[in-house]
Amino acid sequence: MTKPLTLAIFQSMMPGGTAYGSWRHPENTAPDYLDVDHWVSLGKKLDAAGFDFLFFADAYGSPDTDDRFFDIRIKDAGIGAADPLVVVSAIAAATSKLGIVVTASTTTEKPQSLTRRYATLDHLTKGRIGWNIVTGSGQAASARLFGEAMIPHDERYLIAEDHIQLSLKLWEQSWDDGAILLDRAAGVYADPSKIHDIHHDGPYFKADGFLTVPPSPQRTPLLLQAGTSGPGRDFAAKYAEAVFLAGGDAKHVAANIADIRERAERYGRPADSIKFLVGVGFITAPTTEEAQAKRGEMLSFSTVESAAAFYATLTGIDLLALDRTKPLGDVKTEQGQSGVERFSGADGVPPATVGEILEDYRRNGVNGSIFVGDPSTVADQIEEFIELTGADGFAIQPYLVPGTYDDFIELLIPELRSRGLMREQPEGSTLREHLFGEGRKRLPREHAGAQLQTPVS
């Protein structure tokens, strides 16, 4: 049965964007990432078109100047990243429906400060904020910047578990519903009996006190996650309300989705309690020939060296130093295991050679799939992919900003709506309602955080 897709826009607050080298295109405004008008204009466009949310990828750190890819990254606008949380309020003030999701790491951010910022933003956005939970992206560079030893991959998920437990307590337990009285005549702003200290004595974080921000429209922001290593899938099954997956072979994507859904059920959550969004690029034009010409232009900017540099940033693995005719083999990395497992071969898909990984990254970027053609052709590709994978929607990776989105809005959205694949506007007023339906503003009762909730008044 046809159902509307969840559609997110994939962005990062940096000059290079998500398609290698495309910043050089004269119509690409991605290098304007430090201009607030750039983000306000983009937010208005996406809001008017009816997209569910704007997603910001983010990471701390930069490679060492002795890194073999340093010069490539600098020349190809792969370095220079600002803090996307700073622009959320500006985008929110200029929009009325568009959700905004920002990445933050449980390794670099303390729960006490992170929960305060996201609760504040949930108020300022009127419930349209989401947190993409990562344990560390570009972890080697981040650790170097903070002057810390790099934490092993699996231990980062133990930290994340402790982090989210404390975060949920702060959001869900600090204030009872109805605590704010705002009784000017009696001189009572809030009921002291409805504000509570929380106590947390975890292996990595400790806290005694309460979140100073009163309950926001969602209380807990929409929770998203992107890792697909073993620990990542288990963390997603327990806590995530939406999961980002790299594209690529539909069988592999389908297996990841099925595995996480099964794990979620073991945690007592319905299989459909998580929305799965696949990272995909869209290149469309009035005719397939024109779309293919745009695809060719996109690839003319992309090099194997840039692809290798980005892969090394994510995983710590230098593909250019390896035999391109052979698979990676049984490689383990403490930096980004999902980027390795994506090509390791499983679910009837053979392992990719190093050369194939390089070409995949050069052609498709981190998100892994590109749909190319006229609107009808692309819509057919979408329907086939959704049918094969069981995914719920897409995180749309741009080639040009805003050109990719203009084409999507003008050409593809009418086709999607005619097929029942996109709503006129997102449901409800909050981001959680956009994904799960009007009236579902707070964490559902099956979620691990539900036992922490105060009663809804």
Read off the pLDDT band of 413 (50, 70, 90): very high
Encode pLDDT of 90-140 as tens digits.
Answer: 999 999 999 999 999 999 999 999 999 999 999 999 999 999 999 876 666
Q: What is the mean pLDDT of residues 25-44?
A: 96
pLDDT for position 261: 97
Asked if the model's pLDDT at residue 316 lies above 60, the reply is yes
Average pLDDT, the chain: 90
Domain boundaries along the sequence of the chain? 6-292+368-452
pLDDT for position 230: 87
Encode pLDDT of 171-199 as tens digits.
Answer: 999 999 999 999 999 999 999 999 999 99
Q: What is the CATH code for 6-292+368-452? A: 3.20.20.30
pLDDT for position 455: 47
pLDDT for position 76: 81
Q: Are strands 275-284 and 393-397 parallel, antiparallel or unpaired?
A: parallel
| Residue bearing the bigger pLDDT, 141 or 360 | 360
Asked if the model's pLDDT at residue 167 lies above 90, the reply is yes
Asked if the model's pLDDT at residue 209 lies above 50, the reply is yes
| Residue bearing the bigger pLDDT, 309 or 395 | 395
pTM for the structure as a whole: 0.92
Percentage of the chain beyond pLDDT 70 is 93
Q: What is the mean pLDDT of residues 369-394?
A: 97
